[in-house]
Amino acid sequence: MKGRDLILSRVRAAIAGSPPPVTPAPAINRVWEDDREAMVERFLDRLRDYNVGVTRTSGPVAPAVAGILAGRGIDRLAVPTDLPAAWRPDGVALVPDDNLPYGALNAIPGALTGAALAIAETGSIVLDGGAAQGRRALTLLPDYHLCVVRTEQLVGLVPEAIAALVPNRPITFCSGPSATADIELDRVVGVHGPRRLDVLFVG
């Protein structure tokens, strides 16, 4: 018997009578289960801590998007091909990202997308390439990202988000604009993603 086979046979013998491994249940958000508004406020406060522009609306999305973009001086955006019609602002040129070349995508001032989920405790936005999000390059190459997050997409804790995500998708967690302090501990923004991030929270 070869050494590999011997080792595997001993492993199999050792675990033959063992019970199957127990998969722990995801942590359930007990912090805000009776106070949804407090969870929303935690999320928005975390975003502000990360220098994210925060706008909250309970009305139509497109006018709110237009107002944010006017404040930023942006009149041209790359968008996913399935961007909802109700999110499309007047007076802004929207360029569908139907696999645009990287150079062309990089030349567009910003991007408008949705999100898969958001996490209150960490102030994170989760992207997975699903509906209204587009490919990963769409939210990495333009210098500005405006992300629409709906209230039903907000969860309390990271384990809840992990349990809800589809694992074979290209998952990206965003906690504020792109930044690094790897070089002599000097904080530099925009190294591997947008330098400016706005979140429009709907709800």
Provide the CA 191 distance to its chain's centre, in angstroms. Answer: 17
Do residues 30 and 39 lie in contact, with contact meaning Cβ atoms separated by under 8 Å? no
- Asked if residue 180 has pLDDT above 50, the reply is yes
Residues β-bridged to residue 202? 57, 150
| Residues 151, 134: Cα–Cα separation, whole Å | 20
Residues of the chain above pLDDT 70, percent: 84
Could you tell me the CA-to-CA distances from 1 to 5, 9, 12 in Å, in that order?
Answer: 6, 10, 15
Name the 3-class secondary structure at 103: helix
- What is the pLDDT, as a whole number, of residue 190? 46
- What is the pLDDT, as a whole number, of residue 194? 87
| Residues 71, 82: Cα–Cα separation, whole Å | 25
- Asked if residue 29 has pLDDT above 80, the reply is no
Q: What is the mean pLDDT of residues 76-87?
A: 97
> How high does pLDDT run on average in the chain?
87
Name the 3-class secondary structure at 95: strand
